[in-house]
Amino acid sequence: MRGQLAPYVFLSPTLVLVTLFFFIPLIMVFILSFTSLDMTNFGILEWWRPVNWNLDNYVKIFTNRFFSRILGNTIMYVALTLALFNVGMALVIALITTHIKRRTGFAFRVLWFLPRITPVVVYTMMWRALAGPAPMGVLNKYFLGPLGIGGGEYLLNTHPWVFIFLVNGFIGASFGMILFSSAIEAIPKDYTTASKVDGATTWQTIRYVELPMIKWPLLFVTTYQTLSLLTSFEQIMLLTDGGPGLYQTEVWALTAYHRALTSYFGNTQWGYGAAWSVVLVIIGIVMAVIYLRVFKFGELVEEPKIDQL
């Protein structure tokens, strides 16, 4: 009896926390997305009663005038940040730092990882300062000005997307970098030795031996970063808040936030915002399933065929 109870006693703090702050909000968001709950009818609308549930919010999303721009922005933001930085640059850094002297590589990775321990607000504000207009902005004053590039305007107004990619990418790449480089270092030396003796160049060894062997970290980082980029909005909010043009850098997660939690149109539309989030979650799940298919998850669980010694 006691033995059976003990595990639950130990698990209970976590279970309570996860239930309170994850499962209940999840279900509430799902229900809210079918209601028109907002600041004006709060306390009046009985949102928990199914009679008040309908699909109006979802219709509103898909008929929104800016729907295609927001969707396009989101796809571009996720795909390019992922390809160029969070997976692409992460892999390049991991490969370079594991093919040079061990200590040098390690030191470089530590340096690259450091910004992660800066609070995201501070880090983003530093980028805003970098991008500032001519007399103050570091980039304008010390690099672009002397080189005669541009007219010293506020760079976040002229090139908002470039900064969104850089701000997310430079931090984002360090996650994949750490995972990839430890996976590469875990490859037994015999494989790379064998490959070189078999006649491969370093690049061919990477291409034919090392990359296939880190397929699972690659899949994991791609999936994980896709999902976290889909749902991340804080850097964009701090950098451009969706601007400077109308919905110019507005992504899906930021829209959900804007609708639900800021009084952009005079009221905070909790139900409508919840609907944006729910669609985002569904997109995320679909993406994860697609990745598993593309990377052929089934191959990992093939039947053994050993029959004799």
Which residues lie near other proteins (CB under 8 A)?
188, 190-191, 193-201, 204, 208-209, 212-213, 215, 302, 304-306, 308-309
- Non-local (6+) Cβ contacts of 4 within 8 A are none
Min separation Cβ 216 and other proteins, Å? 11
HEC secondary structure over 256-287: HHHHHHCCCCCCCCHHHHHHHHHHHHHHHHHH
Of 68 and 308, the one with the shorter C-beta distance to other proteins is 308
Of 146 and 299, the one with the shorter C-beta distance to other proteins is 299
Min separation Cβ 193 and other proteins, Å? 5
- Residue at token pair 């007399």: 135
Of 12 and 193, the one with the shorter C-beta distance to other proteins is 193
Of 17 and 186, the one with the shorter C-beta distance to other proteins is 186
The token pair at 205 is 């060894």
Of 198 and 234, the one with the shorter C-beta distance to other proteins is 198
CA–CA distance, 307 with 309 (Å, rounded to integer): 7
Compute CA distances 214 → 110, 123, 219, whole Å. Answer: 21, 31, 9
User: The dihedral of CA 103, 105, 108, 109: what is its sign?
Assistant: negative
Long-range contacts of 258-262 (CB under 8 A, 24+ apart): none
Min separation Cβ 184 and other proteins, Å? 15
CA-nearest of 282, 285, 277, 252 to 72 is 252
Type of residue numbered 234: E
Min separation Cβ 105 and other proteins, Å? 18
Min separation Cβ 189 and other proteins, Å? 9
Is-contact 249 236, C-beta < 8 A? Answer: yes
CA-nearest of 32, 67, 26 to 49 is 32
Type of residue numbered 223: T
Cα–Cα–Cα angle for 223, 229, 233, nearest 5°? 160
Of 60 and 196, the one with the shorter C-beta distance to other proteins is 196
Of 147 and 300, the one with the shorter C-beta distance to other proteins is 300
Min separation Cβ 219 and other proteins, Å? 14
Min separation Cβ 102 and other proteins, Å? 12
Min separation Cβ 225 and other proteins, Å? 23
Is-contact 222 83, C-beta < 8 A? Answer: no
- Residue at token pair 């006693």: 9
Of 46 and 198, the one with the shorter C-beta distance to other proteins is 198
CA–CA distance, 164 with 180 (Å, rounded to integer): 24
Min separation Cβ 100 and other proteins, Å? 15
Of 63 and 299, the one with the shorter C-beta distance to other proteins is 299
